[in-house]
Amino acid sequence: MKSDGRFYVTTPIFYVNDRPHIGTAYTMIATDVLARFHRAAGYDTRYLTGLDEHGQKIASAAEAQGMEPRPFVDRMAKPFEDAWRILGTSHDDLIRTTEERHASGVQKLWKLVADRGDVYLGEYDGLYCVGCEAYLMEKDLAPGGQCPQGHGQVRKVRMPSYFFRLSKYAEPLLRLYEERPDFVRPASRMNEVSSFVREGLHDLSISRTSFTWGIPVPGDDAHVMYVWFDALSNYITALGWPEDPQGLFARYWPAAHHVIGKDILRFHAIYWPAMLMAAGLPVPRCVFAHGWLTINGRKMSKSLRNTVDPLALKWEFGNDAVRHYLMRDTVFGLDGDFNHDQLIERINSDLANDLGNLVNRASNLVHKLSDGRIPERREGGEREAAIRARAAESADEAASRFHAFEIARAIEAVWTLCADTNRFVQDSQPWTMKGEADRERRDACLYTMVEAIRQLAHMLAPVMPEKSREILAQIGLEPPPPSVEPPWPSRWGEIEPGLSIPAPRPVFPRIDRKAVPSIRERLGVDSALSEASPEPAREADGLISIEEFGTTDLRIGLVLEAEPVPKTSKLLRLGVDLGEEAPRTIVAGIAEVYKGPDLVGKRIVVVANLRPAKLRGIESRGMLLAASVGGKPRILTVDGDAAPGTRVT
Ligand code: MSP
């Protein structure tokens, strides 16, 4: 990724209907690593994150809590702000889309695009998924008319709407992709985007009249902006566009690198550059889509109780160990898995064994063989020369990997220096170099070892900022304050002879195997893995989200026939039209109150996605809803006419 010395890096802005979890923390951490590396390498760097607070999804979440949207988003923003502070991410700004600086900027962007002729009023008639806040086509749907991202049933909507002339930008976008093949990374994602655009683009509906929780459309208060038009603009409004009072826009745009999850690639690689082109603004430098994390091999979901809280991990293992594991064990750009055992394994092998032992051993040797002081700077022989060369190669290789956003490969390159230094100490055996005769060799060996550790501390800092500073302190140096990155690369030989180093103290304690069961228990790993806990998780307040409610598929059913189940007093067998190819059989325990003919022709409410069950040998495919009045069932019907199959929401 080319650069002119400026590096503006952004995360997606997170929807505040959820709490921070390991997936969102993953995006934050990876972006943080890239920001820290670029700062260390001397780039004029800016790191932006934010919160996405408007739209139908947030409005519904607020309503489900019985709250107005404004206090709801204020309440929900707090856990994000706290989490990122506790996780120590180094963002320079966190923008909330409900801030005035954002709203006024977005309205100006809208006006600009409209004045240039790319906005018109029309009618949207199609499908919408509130979970994704996205318009979908029939062909995009999963079987059963469901959202392909697992958000349940999509809605049919018909409404007046302003449209953005996206179709006009298909050709310019294809040209952009051709001229700048690294506009979308990794390369496989670029193929996905360009083939989508090649199929042709429809104009994009960018306003809604069905709710009010959004930024008003300039000049037409009946409409609020589509949440993605609002959200994408954060990348420039946070820089102060268009007034740019602090000169941030002039300084950092278009040096933008948008780090996002693969699920929101189209918005960033198609809509966003087209919006910027329409406004006559330059497009960002690149959009990098990372993969998704599963948890111990399973999709992360609240109902599986396996969402992982990054703060619990921090208290258990420390931020840096988690960062190292996440960045080392997933290929940035591909899907990955978060596995608790693997995390512990990484801590023990990479951190406690390879790196921790090296640092510890170095402190011990300097104390034993050099009075606790850094020895004279001596060149030594071939072995020392090889370590100096390795340090330079690792720094070069890691830097070019970081530039390519290949974080795991960058760490690998740094680890080569760690492994070689361990081997160097083992082969040199400095503990045998005793007395005055061996002084020069001993000094050369110890100096090389300590200097290699200093180099490692610098190279590890983007991924492990806290531990890097601890390592520097362990070899007698004063680490830079948290706001300043240890520079990259660092010249060989900067550690001063004569410096005294503190008593050895392990930087990375090993996790004892015996402690693992209690760690798993504290983190709730085993209960999350147990199949015997199908109970959906509930938030502490006992409330469910709109998405959780949406997983129950309620439909209007027209009763076509109803007969008693032989040899029972309570059961009726119903034939119910749910708008499907054939009527469904539903067995219901209502015969004490209802006789067959009472029900035929009635419109009832059916749970349509219930797993089939056999009752008295008859397969029942669904359940009707009834209130229990004095212990007797009273069935729910619908007010007025409703076609069989109509969704109840
Ligand atoms: N609000 C939009 C983004 C607007 S950007 C102008 C949004 N928000 S989100 O909160 O739903 O998701 C934010 C990011 O978190 C996305 O990039 C998404 O891919 C990422 N992740 C959410 N769960 C994840 C995993 N399980 N694994 C990795 N990343 C995941 O989309």
Secondary structure of 439-471 in HEC code, one letter for each residue: HHHHHHHHHHHHHHHHHHHHHHCCCCHHHHHHH
Best of 10, 11, 52, 335 for a ligand 1 pocket test (most atoms within 8 Å of beta carbon): 52
The per-residue pLDDT for 135 is: 87
- Nearest alpha-carbon partner for 485 in 500, 509, 464, 516: 464
Pick the residue whose CA is nearest to atom 25 on ligand 1: 23
Pick the residue whose CA is nearest to atom 9 on ligand 1: 14
Residues with CB under 6 A from ligand 1: 12-15, 23-24, 26-27, 52, 231-232, 234, 260-261, 263-264, 292-293, 300
- Nearest alpha-carbon partner for 99 in 139, 51, 43: 51
The per-residue pLDDT for 617 is: 83
Question: What's the first-to-final CA gap in the chain, in angstroms?
Answer: 47
CA of 23 to the centre of ligand 1 (A): 7
CA distances to 418, 453, 477 from 357, rounded to whole Å, are 10, 11, 19
CA separation for the pair 371, 355 (Å, rounded)? 23
Q: In a 3-state reduction of DSSP, which class is residue 339?
A: coil
CA separation for the pair 175, 285 (Å, rounded)? 15
CA separation for the pair 373, 475 (Å, rounded)? 9
CA of 12 to the centre of ligand 1 (A): 7
CA of 628 to the centre of ligand 1 (A): 42
Q: Which residues of the chain have pLDDT under 50?
A: 1-2, 530-540
CA distances to 406, 534, 549, 557, 615 from 552, rounded to whole Å, are 41, 15, 6, 15, 22
Best of 24, 229, 295, 299 for a ligand 1 pocket test (most atoms within 8 Å of beta carbon): 24
Pick the residue whose CA is nearest to atom 15 on ligand 1: 24
4, amino acid identity: D
Pick the residue whose CA is nearest to atom 19 on ligand 1: 261
Backbone angles phi, psi at 208, to 5 degrees: -135, 145
CA of 540 to the centre of ligand 1 (A): 23
The per-residue pLDDT for 581 is: 76
DSSP string, 88-127: T---SEEEETTSHHHHHHHHHHHHHHHHTT-EEEEEEEEE
CA distances to 184, 235, 528 from 288, rounded to whole Å, are 6, 15, 31
- Centre a 10 Å sphere on the Cβ of residue 429 and count the other Cβ atoms it contains: 9
CA of 15 to the centre of ligand 1 (A): 8
Pick the residue whose CA is nearest to atom 6 on ligand 1: 232
* H-type alpha helices, 524-591: 525-529, 546-550
Give the burial class of 138: count Cβ atoms within 10 A of its Cβ; 0-12 exposed, 13-18 middle, 19 or more buried.
exposed
Q: In a 3-state reduction of DSSP, which class is residue 580?
A: coil
CA of 11 to the centre of ligand 1 (A): 9
CA separation for the pair 250, 646 (Å, rounded)? 53
* One-letter-per-residue 3-state SS of 210-268: CCCCCCEECCEEEEEECHHHHHHCHHHHCCCCCCCCCCHHHHHCCCEEEEEEHHHHHHH
- Nearest alpha-carbon partner for 358 in 478, 245, 467: 467
Q: In a 3-state reduction of DSSP, which class is residue 169?
A: helix
CA separation for the pair 452, 388 (Å, rounded)? 8
CA distances to 46, 303, 324, 414, 464 from 461, rounded to whole Å, are 18, 37, 11, 11, 5
CB 16 within 8 A of CB 51: yes
Here the tokens at position 47 are: 């790191």
CB 454 within 8 A of CB 342: no
3-state helix, strand, coil in the chain (%, to 5): 45, 20, 35
Residue 258, beta-bridge partner list: 10, 287
Atom of ligand 1 nearest to the CA of 262: 19
Here the tokens at position 294 are: 């599963």
The per-residue pLDDT for 1 is: 46
Atom of ligand 1 nearest to the CA of 232: 6
Here the tokens at position 238 are: 């946070």
303, amino acid identity: S
- Centre a 10 Å sphere on the Cβ of residue 525 and count the other Cβ atoms it contains: 20
Cis peptide before 465, with omega less than 30 degrees from 0? no
Pick the residue whose CA is nearest to atom 23 on ligand 1: 23
CB 457 within 8 A of CB 471: yes
CA of 601 to the centre of ligand 1 (A): 46
Atom of ligand 1 nearest to the CA of 293: 27
Best of 263, 266, 307 for a ligand 1 pocket test (most atoms within 8 Å of beta carbon): 263
CA of 151 to the centre of ligand 1 (A): 14
Atom of ligand 1 nearest to the CA of 52: 1
Provide CB contacts within 8 A for 25, sequence distance 6+: 83, 87, 310
The per-residue pLDDT for 545 is: 62
Pick the residue whose CA is nearest to atom 8 on ligand 1: 14
Atom of ligand 1 nearest to the CA of 294: 26
- C-alpha torsion angle, residues 301, 305, 311, 315 (rounded to 10): -150
CA of 189 to the centre of ligand 1 (A): 17
CA separation for the pair 72, 64 (Å, rounded)? 10
Give the burial class of 630: count Cβ atoms within 10 A of its Cβ; 0-12 exposed, 13-18 middle, 19 or more buried.
exposed
DSSP-assigned letter for residue 348: I
CA of 24 to the centre of ligand 1 (A): 6
CA angle, 600 then 601 then 604, to 5°: 90
Pick the residue whose CA is nearest to atom 16 on ligand 1: 261
CA of 359 to the centre of ligand 1 (A): 38
- Nearest alpha-carbon partner for 36 in 449, 262, 319: 319
Pick the residue whose CA is nearest to atom 22 on ligand 1: 23
- Nearest alpha-carbon partner for 73 in 49, 92, 46, 55: 55
CA separation for the pair 480, 80 (Å, rounded)? 27
Best of 17, 19, 27 for a ligand 1 pocket test (most atoms within 8 Å of beta carbon): 27
Atom of ligand 1 nearest to the CA of 12: 5
CA of 292 to the centre of ligand 1 (A): 9
Pick the residue whose CA is nearest to atom 10 on ligand 1: 14
Atom of ligand 1 nearest to the CA of 260: 17
Global pTM reads 0.81
Q: In a 3-state reduction of DSSP, which class is residue 604?
A: strand
The per-residue pLDDT for 527 is: 64
CA separation for the pair 509, 520 (Å, rounded)? 18
Atom of ligand 1 nearest to the CA of 263: 19
CA separation for the pair 630, 405 (Å, rounded)? 65
CA of 14 to the centre of ligand 1 (A): 6
CA distances to 121, 307, 340, 534 from 524, rounded to whole Å, are 52, 10, 11, 15
